[in-house]
Amino acid sequence: MDLRVDGKVALVTGGSRGIGRAVAARLAEGGASVMLCARKREALEKAAAEITADGGVVDVFPANAGDPEAAEAAVVATVARFGSLELLVNNAATNPYFGRTIDIDRSRADKTMSVNLHGALAWTQCAWRLSMAEHGGAVVNVSSIGALSVSPGIGFYGVSKAALVALTRQLAWELGPGVRVNAVVPGLVRTDFSRALLELGADAVAARLPLKRLGEPDDVAKVVLFLLSEAAAWMTGATVVVDGGAMAMPSGGT
């Protein structure tokens, strides 16, 4: 299946590295013009240069995903640069706390929700108000397998991502039929963001999975491209798991 998004304009948060960078590359390869957003301009420009070198049409806008004003400025800049915004990928995330959920302090809990949940809502609201309400479109929220399971050490991160799955369903109901909203749920993927988890025993985790390997960013990016393309035209409110079979393992992971 040749998945194409020709003529579409996409915005990817957390787009300078990892899953976001891979999603942006896939969208550009599929024919979309792409705005990359993340906090650091240097990292954004490096990613954009690499994608542009492969023939993609890419621009960058530095923005903190948890700042509603930055979200609006980024969407305004995208529409001004490319004329519209039809595809939004809420990929940016943060996890400032590692430990038992019962012990998390309010400050780090608020920061987690501010980016992972409130941020995704704010970016979607801006995209809807400034383009999608009139022109239609599709949104993909990047959640986590932690939304569907118990995650030692990163439990509250999983809570925020479970809320993002619930938000996905709610927005799918409210924004249809013009805008589709779906979520993708990655398992453990080799990225800088997951480095702490990888250092705890990546090889052992991979050995237990049915597919015997961890994910790569492009494994997730290809599914995001599918959900944003017309191949998924009758999908909204869905949560697609991309985890190497982790959720198919026997209870206890044995």
Catalytic residues: 157
The answer to whether 114 touches 160, Cβ cutoff 8 Å, is no
Whole-angstrom Cα distance, residue 250 to residue 247? 8
For 7-28, b/e burial (b = at least 16 CB within 10 A) is: ebbbbbbbbbbbbbbbbbbbbb
Report CA dihedral (141, 142, 143, 144) to the nearest 10 degrees: 170
Count CB atoms within 10 A of the CB of residue 153: 17
What H or E segment, with its residue span, contains residue 228? helix 217-228
Positive/negative CA dihedral, 143, 186, 90, 223: negative
Whole-angstrom Cα distance, residue 219 to residue 210? 15
Whole-angstrom Cα distance, residue 190 to residue 196? 11
